[in-house]
Chain A
Amino acid sequence: MYSLMINGKRQKVAVSPDTPLLWVIREHVGLTGTKFGCSKAQCGACTVLIDGRAERSCQTQVKDAVGKKITTIEGIPDNNPVKKAWISEDVPQCGYCQSGQMLQAVALLKAKPKPTEADIDEFMSGCICRCGTYQSIRKAIHIAAGMSSKGGGK
């Protein structure tokens, strides 16, 4: 039995220790916003925040997530600049990759509140979008960065 802190809520799960956090979140906790895309750290669809850092939940075994603060897309408030910018830019197409993209962007803006194009290339290239929404993602990141700085440079 593992006890996890996900989106500020304590969750107890009975799974084998090597189970990837991705599947624990999706199947045992029932939060399906986090997506499965490759299981090989290649696509970023499974990205969540672990203690504020963007991590691939397909690579994190449940035993290593104990005692850490895990945030999934469901735990990002609606007034978060990234979510707001994603809505105002109408970013998603099929939408499947977008929770991973958004969490990656949240972590990017935390590390670099005013990211350059090169920062975006470097930080976001781990998250594949087969629908090719990259241009909208780039724009939404800049908009979110603008909102954050206007809101007091958080």
Chain B
Amino acid sequence: MSRIVNISRRDFLKTGAMVGGGLILGFSIPGAAPGTPVKPKAPFSPNAFIRIGTDNIVTVIVNKSEMGQGVYTSLPMLIAEELECDWSKIRVEPAPVAPEYNHTEWGQLQGTGGSSSVRSTWDQFRKAGAAARMMLVKAAASNWQVSPDSCRAEKGYVINDGLNKRLNFGALAEKASRLSPPKEITLKGPGDFKVIGRPTRRLDTVDKVRGKALFGIDAKVEGMLVAVVSRAPVFGGKVKTFNDEKARKVAGVKHVVQVPSGVAVIAADFWSANKGRDSLEIEWDLGENAGLSTEDMRARYTGLAATAGIVAKKEGDAEKAFASAVRKLTAQYEVPYLAHATMEPLNCLVDLRKDSCEIWTGTQFQTVDRNNAASISGLEPEKVKIHTMFLGGGFGRRANPRSDFVSEAVHVAKALKKPVKVIWTREDDIHGGYYRPMWHDRISAGIDEKGMPVAWRHTIAGQSIIKGTLFEQGFIKDGIDKTSVEGAADIPYSIPNVYVDLHSTDVNVPVLWWRSVGHSHTAFVVESFMDELAHAAGKDPYEYRMALLDKHPRHRAVLEIAAKKAGWGTPLPKGHARGIAVHESFGSIVAQVAEVSVGKGGEVRVHNVVCAIDCGSVVNPATVKAQMESGIVFGLSATLFSEITFKGGRVEQSNFHDYEVARMKDMPGIDVHIMPGKEPPQGVGEPGVPPVAPAVCNAIFTLTGKRIRRLPIRAEELKA
């Protein structure tokens, strides 16, 4: 691990050429069978991100995982903008693990998350493209014996207008490869963009529509076996004893091995392994969590949230302001544990040899997984190769500091000494932990005679995602896990006295970032409570927010667009109402207006969501729109349906019949408006999620007078 050298953003051009050359040696791409070496005719590798072949094919090596968010298109767009290549000649290849591919903001880690892919490669990828272009231009100029300044690049050609000559990139690749990378690079200004800002079709669509895109679960190597693992029914439980006699008799079952996480049944195929697992007899030591129950936890958290925690934010003197306020409002909100439930259940294929380890999986955390695999297998990290496959959804679940699904597969492979793919069933996934934490929030405001807030107190209780991981140093300061209070300790509203505190609870349920992380609960609480204040003041919730956002013009702008496009204040069909919310996360600001009706049985129907986003510069508007839709649906699932609960230490849900998510019939019409921006681009994968829940619940209040303070919404609460 200590051998990893962090290469700074500026250094990659120097070192990239060398590393880029080495990359040509076989590693596989999604879309080709794993293990198929890629042998392109690609003499020109100006840096770690680009390879240009004599056949004009431009291969972009992408160091971010494609999990639906469109990075296999938006990142190549950044390169294409500066490279001036022919877009139809672009091919994408996932990066192997190497320091050149480290995240530009995460230190010595290669990974995908925090809605940061475009933001963090914005300069890096454009520079990579520009450097390659300059070398191609120089190569052509020297061919023609003219100055490079008299040449230009366009659609995969270098052109000299004076000589009326042109050469394609393929023809120049050989020569360009002998040049040294430029020392200085000037990037285009936004006014000259040709690719950035245009709605661009995804490069991976055709393979995905043909069923040819390969996900982790599709990976295969010669002689591979399939394993399923029986894990403890309670978190922290351990195998006491087990009897595998019956399991071994199941046709197709070849091995049964014990691993730290449980007992693995290994067969020639999934079905046999799964049947074998059903026949295992295991006696578990359930450990300390055998009594865990959601009801107990709720009572405990409610009590905690009413006591003082560690201060996360203090501005002015809230206590004094409360004492002199005309009125005080207090409310308690809560949200449950949530599973990511990626459509592709977790899986990992490991081929562990004496002095090498190859892993095929859909991961967001290449370096972390590699290092964990290295320490389990006893190999140097450099001996561990990760082949990043397409991810059938990530949402944070495939970025685990503990690499659970990778580590376990390495353990199985180590015990077995054969290539093996561990496949999780949906039940394994729902029971598997690493949930969005359960949260309780107690929130109060002191109001002046005009109904405006003068004091704000927000106490949060829930588990820290970061505690005990390698991210502690970066994310936990003075006892505050930043991700627990994001969106709460930094509210945009002009309130003179603000006090936010946190109880980080010790519960033995594995938790993790879940699309939009802390914002997934803070936006619900803050934006619902703002609505409570507006109604208490007898003011329009939109106007009320606008008045308090005097220092945040970007918030005001998105709110205004969302309200205008939704026809805020205009009449609706009988039985419908609108709700509004705005929230900043991952550098972007999103406002949403939801139009809702409630049936006699209390069932909520979301008819429309109008969404406005300011994400700075827009690279691919088609992706921004898709990500807003995606985030809204993801947030709707959590608003209307999903929760993980415990009884007797066990998770009460198991599959999509009781861990419900939004389906076609639940789908509102979604209308997305993207603000034109000149600032560097910000996140889009997550920011669509946070405002949905409060927008929907605020609409329900307007409609029914009932305030939803607990998710998912329960029909009983809304019955006519």
Q: Which residues of A contact B (CB under 8 A)?
A: 15-16, 18-20, 23, 26-28, 31-40, 42-43, 45, 72-74, 78, 83, 86-87, 90-99, 102, 120-122, 124-138
Query: Is the Cβ of B657 less than 8 Å from the Cβ of A40?
Result: yes
CB distance from A17 to the nearest CB of B (A): 11
CB distance from B59 to the nearest CB of A (A): 21
Query: Is the Cβ of B202 less than 8 Å from the Cβ of A73?
Result: no
Query: Is the Cβ of B656 less than 8 Å from the Cβ of A38?
Result: yes
- How would residues 197 to 223 of chain B score, 1 for a CB under 8 Å from any chain A CB and 0 otherwise? 000011011101111111101100000
Expressed in whole angstroms, the Cα–Cα distance for A73 and B211 within the complex equals 6
Expressed in whole angstroms, the Cα–Cα distance for A91 and B563 within the complex equals 28
Which chain A residues border B633 with CB–CB below 8 Å? 129, 131-132, 134
CB distance from B700 to the nearest CB of A (A): 21
Query: Is the Cβ of B211 less than 8 Å from the Cβ of A131?
Result: no
Query: Is the Cβ of A130 less than 8 Å from the Cβ of B661?
Result: yes
Expressed in whole angstroms, the Cα–Cα distance for A33 and B208 within the complex equals 9
CB distance from A80 to the nearest CB of B (A): 10
Contacts known (A73-B210, A121-B664); A131 close to B202, Cβ less than 8 A? no
Binds A, one of B75-83, B241-249, B323-331, B336-344: B336-344
Expressed in whole angstroms, the Cα–Cα distance for A55 and B33 within the complex equals 28
Which chain B residues border A130 with CB–CB below 8 Å? 341-343, 393, 395, 634, 661
- Interface SS of chain B: loop
B392: Cβ under 8 A from any A Cβ: yes
Q: Count contacts between A and B, CB distance < 8 Å.
A: 176
Which chain A residues border B211 with CB–CB below 8 Å? 31-34, 72-74, 99
Query: Is the Cβ of B426 less than 8 Å from the Cβ of A16?
Result: no
CB pairs A–B below 8 angstroms (20 shown): A34-B211, A40-B426, A40-B655, A42-B426, A42-B656, A74-B212, A83-B209, A86-B205, A90-B202, A90-B622, A92-B205, A92-B208, A94-B344, A96-B342, A96-B390, A96-B393, A125-B664, A129-B343, A131-B343, A134-B664
Query: Is the Cβ of A135 less than 8 Å from the Cβ of B344?
Result: no
Expressed in whole angstroms, the Cα–Cα distance for A134 and B668 within the complex equals 9
Which chain A residues border B208 with CB–CB below 8 Å? 92, 95, 98
Tell me the nearest residue of chain B to A86, going by C-beta. Answer: B209
Which chain A residues border B93 with CB–CB below 8 Å? none
Top-7 shortest CB links A-B? A33-B211, A132-B633, A96-B392, A94-B68, A95-B208, A93-B68, A73-B211
Which chain A residues border B629 with CB–CB below 8 Å? 132-133, 135-136
Tell me the nearest residue of chain A to B628, going by C-beta. Answer: A132
Tell me the nearest residue of chain A to B270, going by C-beta. Answer: A23
B495: Cβ under 8 A from any A Cβ: no
Tell me the nearest residue of chain B to A100, going by C-beta. Answer: B343
Tell me the nearest residue of chain A to B274, going by C-beta. Answer: A39
CB distance from A23 to the nearest CB of B (A): 5
